[in-house]
């Protein structure tokens, strides 16, 4: 039944008027959306922070002149690298997965070692 509703989403004041009304006034609507945008912002900021730290860690390890670099997984973990955050992943020809973190990429060579590369801009195709 569409007549169920009945309280402002923000302040819980009983609503009158249109059946699809969600807020008692524009002020409540504004506060509700501001809160929601703020929650979105904080969620995104937390993820961006992790990705940014991961990138910084990779950048600090890779010699600017080296095409590829082998690094121990433990070292990345010790520095705070979080493997469950990356900006992309793609299968490599050898059936492995190449993970991207911005302009860097890495793949597992073994359980303990990774190969780290600077990869340039990601393909948009
Ligand atoms: Zn209200």
- Find the domain containing 79 and state its range: 26-118
**16 CA to centre of ligand 1 in angstroms:** 11
CB 89 within 8 A of CB 99: yes
Total domain count, the chain: 1
How far is the centre of ligand 1, averaged over its atoms, from the C-alpha of 1 (Å)? Answer: 22
88: in domain: yes
pLDDT, tens digit, 9 for 90 and up, residues 78-93 = 999 999 999 999 998 8
How much distance in Å is there from the Cα of 29 to the middle of ligand 1?
7
| 38-77 pLDDT, tens digit each | 999 999 999 999 999 999 999 999 888 888 899 999 999 9
CA 54 to ligand 1 centroid distance, Å: 43
Query: Does some domain include residue 123?
Result: no
Is 32 a member of any domain? yes
Token code pair at residue 52? 């940014």
Centre of ligand 1 from the C-alpha of residue 43, in Å = 26
Is 17 inside any structural domain? no
What is the reported pLDDT for 46? 94
CB–CB of 115/107 below 8 Å? yes
CA of 17 to the centre of ligand 1 (A): 13
CA of residue 44 to ligand 1 center, whole Å = 28
Q: Is residue 18 part of a domain?
A: no
Of residues 114 and 65, more confidently modeled:
114
Q: 9 lies in a domain?
A: no
- 76, part of any domain: yes
Go through the chain and tell me how many residues it has: 125
Ligand 1 centroid to 5 CA: how many Å?
13
Evaluate whether residue 96 is within a structural domain.
yes
Q: What is the pLDDT of residue 5?
A: 60
């Amino acid at each position: 039944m569409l007549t169920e509703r009945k309280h402002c989403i923000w302040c819980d004041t009983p609503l009158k008027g249109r059946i699809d009304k969600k807020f008692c006034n524009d002020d409540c609507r504004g506060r509700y959306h501001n809160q929601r945008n703020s929650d979105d912002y904080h969620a995104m900021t937390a993820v961006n922070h992790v990705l940014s730290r991961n990138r910084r860690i990779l950048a600090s390890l890779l010699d600017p002149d080296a095409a590829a670099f082998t690094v121990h997984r433990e070292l990345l973990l010790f520095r705070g690298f979080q493997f469950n955050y990356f900006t992309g992943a793609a299968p490599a020809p050898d059936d492995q997965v190449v993970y991207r973190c911005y302009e860097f990429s890495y793949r597992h060579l073994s359980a303990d070692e990774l190969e780290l590369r600077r990869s340039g801009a990601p393909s948009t195709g």
